[in-house]
Chains A and B, each alone.
Chain A
Amino acid sequence: AQSVAQPEDQVNVAEGNPLTVKCTYSVSGNPYLFWYVQYPNRGLQFLLKYITGDNLVKGSYGFEAEFNKSQTSFHLKKPSALVSDSALYFCAVRAISGGYNKLIFGAGTRLAVHP
């Protein structure tokens, strides 16, 4: 079955410290992986994606993600967290079902950055 797992409901980090939000996936074929962020009372915003190429992908707002094929992971990272990074983060994977491409989302991880 095609799926995405975000094992942490919440991640707490102090401002200025590095942060990691974890994501693992299960999909047939080559994975197309995405990270989205949701601020309160807003829709999801695209952060970054991995389709092919370099395993380290750089995205918006200083975020990056590392694709690890052997561990089927796509963890989101940032070297120095900001209070304004506090939000809900979703990992997603492209899945093929019924002949069409769709995104399957994880349950989300709430990131709380403390001053």
Chain B
Amino acid sequence: NAGVTQTPKFRVLKTGQSMTLLCAQDMNHEYMYWYRQDPGMGLRLIHYSVGEGTTAKGEVPDGYNVSRLKKQNFLLGLESAAPSQTSVYFCASRNRDRTYEQYFGPGTRLTVT
């Protein structure tokens, strides 16, 4: 099993450009999450999904959109990138069971200039 994978690993964008980050998991997990990690702030939840075709907002959703068209994939989109979105983005997934343990991808480092 590859677990949770993320593409790309690194990306540099100019202000106003758009891009999509892809998260894929092969563990048949129901729940998927997108976080951003900034120094001294831990991980903050951007959006999450509790199943195929459903998404919901987390703590910091502004400027981001998501889609979960297939159970194994969770896409994070930036329509018009801003320097404040420079961050490391992590995807995670978990089973529906009551362990609540999340499995994380390796991260995408995004720089917006």
Q: Which residues of A contact B (CB under 8 A)?
A: 9, 32, 34, 36, 41-46, 49, 51, 90, 94, 98, 100-103, 105-108
Residue from the set A41, A44, A94 with the largest chain B CB neighbour count within 10 Å = A44
Q: How many A-B residue contacts, CB cutoff 8 Å?
A: 55
- Interface-centre pick from A36, A41, A45, A103 (highest chain B CB count, 10 A): A103
In angstroms, Cα B92 to Cα A107, docked, is 18
The 9 sampled A-B contact pairs (Cβ below 8 Å) are A43-B4, A43-B104, A43-B107, A45-B104, A102-B45, A105-B35, A105-B43, A107-B41, A108-B42
Q: In the bound complex, do residue A103 and residue B100 qualify as a contact, i.e. CB atoms below 8 Å apart?
A: yes
Contact B102 A103 (CB under 8 A): yes
* Cβ-neighbour of A49 out of B42, B44, B99, B107 (below 8 A): B99
CB atoms of A43 and B106 under 8 A apart? yes
Contact with A along B92-111 (1 / 0, CB 8 A): 10000011111111110000
Q: Which residue of A lies closest to B4 (CB)?
A: A43
Residues of B within 8 A of A (CB): 4, 33, 35, 40-45, 48, 50, 56, 58, 90, 92, 98-107
Let me know if B99 and A100 touch, CB within 8 A. no
Closest-CB distance, B92 to chain A (whole angstroms): 8
A107 touches B106 (CB 8 A): no
Bound together, the chains give a CA A112 to CA B35 distance in angstroms of 25
Q: Are A100 and B56 in contact (CB under 8 A)?
A: yes
One of B40, B48, B90 near A100 (C-beta < 8 A): B48
Q: Given A100-B56, A102-B58, is A46 in contact with B103 using a C-beta cutoff of 8 Å?
A: yes
Which A residues are CB-close (under 8 A) to B33?
A: 102
Let me know if B48 and A105 touch, CB within 8 A.
no
- Cβ 8 A contact of B100, one of A90, A94, A107: A94
Shortest Cβ distance from residue A97 to the other chain B in the assembled complex, whole angstroms: 9
Contacting pair A102 B48 (CB below 8 A): yes
CA A106 to CA B104, docked complex, whole Å: 16
**List of B residues within 8 angstroms of A90 by Cβ:** 42-43
